[in-house]
Amino acid sequence: MKYISTRGNYQPVEAAQAIRLGMVPAGGLFVPEKVPIFSQDTIYNMKDNTYQEIALMVLEEFLSDYQESELEDCIRKAYNEKNFTSDGMAPVLNLDDNIYIMELWHGPTAAFKDMALQLMPHLLLKALQKAEFSKEVVILVATSGDTGKAALEGFKDIPGIRIIVFYPAEGVSKIQEAQMTTTTGSNTYVVAVEGNFDECQNSVKEIFADRDFNSLISRQGYQFSSANSINWGRLVPQIIYYFAAYASLLRDDVISKGQKIDITVPTGNFGNILAAYYAYRMGLPVHKFVCASNDNKILTDFLRTGEYNLERDFIKTISPSMDILISSNLERFLFEITGHNADKINKWYDDLKNKGCFKIDDPTRKKIAGIFVGEYASETETKNTIKKVFRDYNYLVDTHTAVGIRVYQKYRQNLAEDIPVIIDSTANPYKFSKAVLDSLETGINTVNEFAILDTLNKISGQDIHRALKDLDKQEIKHYRNCDTSKIRKEIKDILNIN
């Protein structure tokens, strides 16, 4: 399987190279040249397969330049009982008639990013070995929370790779900060940066583009790379759980062979829902994709009008991992839905860069509307949903999952038929415990973030996720901090370069 650029500006490459490069050097994203297809028999028979077996089937199709034994090795290291404490990695539970919740947060950091970031570092390491790459890879991550810790856990102790995570000193919660600064591993570095997330992210982006600095570290035997969701190596692992979830519904006789389901995804960067779309293109029977947004509803507006318009305020919400205005993976989706029309992608993304907006043509908009629905949930709706779901089902959901559930309810009001739905639960409720406790309106007002975990535990009886338990009692391993203007110096210091 070869990978091509969404902008038509790069020669086709093998999967290992696409993963090593991250994004197309001249701009654009790598996508598979052709989407592989599973027969309905194959999909039906997945009900008898384990998560690891389904993983191998999916990865073999997309990563055909990897040996089967290499993929098996990566899968074994990522998807095991040590990393994921639940049978089947991502259990699907029945909330109500036809409503199924896929819990994607049983990994080491309590957010769905683990599903991909536990596997991707192993895929990258194999890619480096295949290329007989002699440099040591340094992963740079700017994070506002979830990605940083998930990347640290994924890359921890992977030979030949170091990871440096920068987070805004004022921009993450105490729990998120403690999750990062207590990370073990001999190749992990965590730096608090003075300033907000945008300043932190922009400074790191500048470093990727800084030629002089890149050649300086290259002479010392290092090469920068990134671990964010524009890398195909982060997207492909996410396709697996959609097949696994469908298989689980088959196994439980909820659906019959070939029966269509709805899929609802709380969306930010459009990575998770795009993975679901690839599963559909591979043959997964899907009726509609419900793209759920919070008050930053640029995708809802786009799916309704065909116009993607950045001219709007950025709103800080209680579902911060979805507070995104530029959904990077939408570019891949548009490339796919237009039948690989790089000219259109170039035009639209030039418009976005130059005018802050683009509008797709009507035939494309209609085609998307045939399979995608966009809706959003306000802050009040999100809080009410957390409260109501707990009251009605005795089940605690986090703020992102609540957005998904609320949006699904709105969509279902206009639905004539009864179609089973899988709603992605993207974070464990304890990860966003303050907002969850507030939403329950119990009148209890615990202020200390670590104490809130215990309060929530007493109210709900739900176990505190192991990643968040006793965090305040663990040893802090990382004390680095710097100013945005000193990030280069900090990197040189870490890499021992004068």
Ligand X SMILES: *Cc1c(COP(=O)(O)O)cnc(C)c1O
Residues that bind ligand X (CB under 6 A): 111-113, 146, 229, 266-272, 321-322, 400, 426-427
Shortest reach from residue 343's CB to ligand X, in Å: 27
Per the CB < 8 A criterion, the answer to whether 39 and 283 are in contact is yes
Continuous H helices in 370-467: 379-393, 399-412, 433-440, 449-460
| Closer by beta carbon to ligand X, 402 or else 437 | 402
182: left (phi over 0), alpha (psi -120 to 50) or beta: alpha
Shortest reach from residue 406's CB to ligand X, in Å: 14
| Closer by beta carbon to ligand X, 66 or else 411 | 411
Looking at the DSSP assignment, which residues form a beta bridge with residue 61? none
Q: Report the 10 Å Cβ neighbour count for 438.
A: 16
| Closer by beta carbon to ligand X, 187 or else 238 | 238
Specify the 3-state DSSP secondary structure of 168: strand
d(CA 235, CA 224) in angstroms, rounded, equals: 20
Shortest reach from residue 262's CB to ligand X, in Å: 17
Shortest reach from residue 109's CB to ligand X, in Å: 9
| Closer by beta carbon to ligand X, 229 or else 460 | 229
| Closer by beta carbon to ligand X, 248 or else 267 | 267
| Closer by beta carbon to ligand X, 123 or else 318 | 318
Continuous H helices in 311-417: 330-337, 342-355, 362-369, 379-393, 399-412
| Closer by beta carbon to ligand X, 13 or else 237 | 237
Q: Which residues of 164-186 are buried (b: 16+ CB within 10 A; e: fewer)?
A: bbbbbbebbbebbbbbbbbbeee
Shortest reach from residue 425's CB to ligand X, in Å: 9
Rounded to 5°, the CA angle 453-439-313 comes to: 110
Residue 115: φ, ψ to 5°: -55, -35
Cβ contacts of residue 325 below 8 Å, gap of 6+? 296, 298, 310, 312, 314
d(CA 335, CA 218) in angstroms, rounded, equals: 34
The beta strand positions in 267-321, using DSSP E, are 286-293, 307-309
| Closer by beta carbon to ligand X, 107 or else 121 | 107
| Closer by beta carbon to ligand X, 237 or else 271 | 271
| Closer by beta carbon to ligand X, 191 or else 403 | 403
Shortest reach from residue 324's CB to ligand X, in Å: 7
Residue 136's nearest CA partner among 184, 187, 185 is 187
CA atoms within 13 A on the CB side of 125: 21
Shortest reach from residue 5's CB to ligand X, in Å: 21
CA atoms within 13 A on the CB side of 182: 16
Shortest reach from residue 3's CB to ligand X, in Å: 19
| Closer by beta carbon to ligand X, 300 or else 426 | 426
Shortest reach from residue 229's CB to ligand X, in Å: 6
Shortest reach from residue 270's CB to ligand X, in Å: 5
Residue 400's nearest CA partner among 113, 181, 88 is 113
d(CA 349, CA 358) in angstroms, rounded, equals: 7
d(CA 301, CA 54) in angstroms, rounded, equals: 35
Shortest reach from residue 465's CB to ligand X, in Å: 13
